[in-house]
Chain A
Amino acid sequence: MFKKSLIVAAATAALVSTGAQAAAARDYISIVGSSTVYPFATVVAEQFGKSTQFKTPKIESTGSGGGLKLFCAGVGVEHPDITNSSRRIKKSEQDLCAKNGVKDIVEVKIGYDGIAIANSKDSQQLDLSRKDLYLALAKDVPDPKGGDKLVANPYKTWKDVNASLPSTKIEVLGPPPTSGTRDAFAELVMEHGCQEYPFIKAMKKTDKKAFKAACMGVREDGAYIEAGENDNLIVQKLEANPNALGIFGFSFLDQNSDKIQGSKIDGVEPAFESIADSSYPVSRPLFFYVKKAHIGAVPGIAEYLAEFTSEKAYGEEGYLSDKGLIPMPEAERGQFRYDAKAETPMSAL
């Protein structure tokens, strides 16, 4: 018995010590972050792994917030080298980074992603305004009878919201609050929509908290269905239920254009061109952040940056655009390529 447990203990100790050794020198890039950037970063990583002598980077999809938390935990091989983000780093996160010794961060913007609001091809294409979406999905809306007060959302069908819309039940499948897509949707659609009411807009100055609750609170009476982070699932559900609308990344609309159609938002159809020239209102920039202290310490980071910012990757006709990434204008691409090459750290926010 004693002998056996001794052997087991020795084996565990041996495994742990080899593990510690492996952590001391890492020969692959470790990337974490946004699930929206994940499909693009993985393509670059794969190309990078195939065309260089470096190992293929490891990419975890942790969400933007989770990724930045891991990223800012410190300098050293046990922490990730790069984090992807579907929004810009926040001041609080930058402070956290600085507190943990992560001082110099290189910021690279890679392009844009549109958020599509789509339904099945079996039903008609909708032409929605952001105000319509706000009224249909907010938890509390301005009293339809008039007056400057909020009441629990009474709308049942799209026709109730806007007489020009069909009289189908409001049923929207979308991402849960942990998702970056949801954050962007709340900010770009809901917040914008609610500001069309002057009294809510006035709240922004007086009571920020109440303003946020009024604008970004999503109804919980079954009209908005949290369908999880799996966008493919939403697409399948839309096919089965022609009355439902779904909210997801543009690349899923692009890949499934035979089954679903994007609704026009403020009269603009979600398309490659309209997102690129930012006439489509619901689009956001995508980023990744690099720990400068790791460049050189972990092999291949500089080369990975060069691959990601090359014209054949994030350029106008690069392979990322085939995957649904909307490229930046040429001047901006050149700027970020230059900054990535020079490893220019970003300034404090």
Chain B
Amino acid sequence: MNDATQNRRRAIDVVNASLKKRYAREARFRRIGLGAVVLGLVFVSVLFFDIVSKGYTAFVQTHIELEVFFDPAVIDPEGKRDMQEIARADFRKLVREPLRALFPEVKKRNEKRALDGMLSGGAPYQLLDMVRSDPSLIGQRRTIDLIADDDIDMLVKGHIDRNAPPSDRRVNDQVIGWVDTLTEQGRVKRKFNSGFFVNGDSREPELAGIGGAVAGSFYTLLVTLVLSFPIGVAAAVYLEEFAPKNRWTDLIEVNINNLAAVPSIVFGLLGLAMFINLFGLPRSAPLVGGLVLTLMTLPTIIIAARAALKSVPPSIREAALGVGASKMQTVFHHVVPLAMPGMLTGTIIGMAQALGETAPLLMIGMVAFIVDVPGGPLDPSTVLPVQVYLWADSPERAFVERTSAAIIVLLAFLIAMNTFAVIMRRRFERRW
């Protein structure tokens, strides 16, 4: 008895002696874990801050308000209102005249060029579009906000240092003087840059937009979804519910897991060899992009779908079979609907992955300068991350903010998709 109490005390002593150490170890582990999370958050917030602080200015665009006279003598001298004829008219003259009228002292040729250069090369087309939608404008005077050149835009936004020596800036003193005069008259306006969301690519930063890239991404992902979801789910259902477990299915499983880890550029090469060279599909088309991305997202979807099917308890299958359902009915009436939220989550994550992919698209010609917004999966197009890459490589200063703005839009799409996946999981997931 005495011996036993002594022994017990000794055990407690041992525990007590080590307690401090054990607590310290736990606290240390928690701190390291917390530190890792904080470090991750810091990196993400630095990235977001950098992108947003560089990019937010791209959502506004400098315009110059001018009174334009839609001179019939310039637009339509014969008065036939023939649109083909009108499209060939010299609209540049219409945008130059009001600006020159404001600064009548400008006489020299190169000064005139500098003055004309304050407006974007797209300003004449702005007028053309207005006349196209409303031919009755011809002969009238209208006050219009015309798009300013990217250099003026950068100056107004403060990205050009006014105090730098004149030889070191893109904008000379005279132009700065004109901009200041126009600002005093209240003619320089910063408006929401709607063109950024609807226009296709352009070499003029003030006209460039992500409309074409968003449409391209949409068609590419549509093709990917239409192909990869049914194929992926079908493959998963077959492998999980119907296939016998033997060496062949093991081999297939290993290969699917391997495919998920293959670098995406390899799928691009495969797509080039198969879809373009063998099947003769057009280069740069979202259809081919979608097919290649299907190959890439299939393993992700199959793996997620199989995991979802596995998590459906066997009792459900046994109950269904017990009341006389066939194997097919068991699977499609009971197991698949219960596994659907998990499958959809996997699909959305696969789609988000596909949305951010550029490497496989490089090989099939989707890294290209495309101005026209694609109207279908066969028109040449690019996708959002490719647009980011192309703009990041452009020499004009104004593309820096546009690159960041395109990244913001891309991130917004990704966050929206992933949030949707999380919400779906929360709402429909069932635990047994």
Contacts and interface: CB of A to CB of B under 8 A. Distances in A.
Interface stretch (A3-11, A85-93, A294-302, A335-343): A3-11
Contacts of A121: 168
A60 to B, nearest CB: 4
A317 B116 CA distance: 14
Interface stretch (A43-51, A129-137, A144-152, A303-311): A43-51
Interface in B169-185: 169-170
B108 to A, nearest CB: 14
Q: How large is the interface on B (under 10, 10 to 19, 20 to 34, 35 or more residues)?
A: 35 or more
Given A60-B368, A231-B395, A20 B279 contact: yes
A58 B369 contact: yes
A42 B396 contact: no
Interface string A28-54: 101000010011011101100111010
B281 A30 contact: no
A53 B328 CA distance: 57
Contacts of A254: 395
A12 to B, nearest CB: 7
Of the candidates A53, A252, A255, the one having the most CB atoms from chain B within 10 angstroms of its own CB is A255
B282 A230 contact: no
A26 B234 contact: no
B245 to A, nearest CB: 19
Interface in A58-91: 58-61, 78
B38 interface: no
SS of B interface (majority): loop
Contacts of A8: 227, 230-231, 234
Interface string B255-293: 000000000000000000000100111111101100000
Interface string A143-169: 000000000000000000000000000
B47 to A, nearest CB: 16
Given A18-B378, A39-B203, A59-B368, A30 B395 contact: no
B410 interface: no
Interface in A216-254: 229-233, 251-252, 254
A19 B395 contact: no
A224 to B, nearest CB: 21
A123 interface: no
Contacts of B367: 60-61
A207 interface: no
Contacts of A229: 393
B397 interface: yes
A16 interface: yes
Nearest to A236: B400
Contacts of A213: none
Contacts of A252: 395
Given A22-B282, A60-B367, A46 B202 contact: yes
B397 A255 contact: yes
A13 B129 CA distance: 40
Contacts of B234: 1, 4-5, 8
A56 interface: yes
Contact of A58 (B202, B231, B380): B380
A201 B99 CA distance: 60
Interface string B16-36: 000000000000000000000
Interface of A: 1, 4-5, 8, 11-12, 15-16, 18-20, 22-23, 26, 28, 30, 35, 38-39, 41-43, 45-46, 49-51, 53, 55-56, 58-61, 78, 121, 229-233, 251-252, 254-258, 317, 319, 323-324
Given A41-B369, A258-B164, 9 more contacts: A8-B230, A15-B223, A23-B280, A23-B281, A26-B282, A46-B202, A78-B282, A255-B396, A323-B203
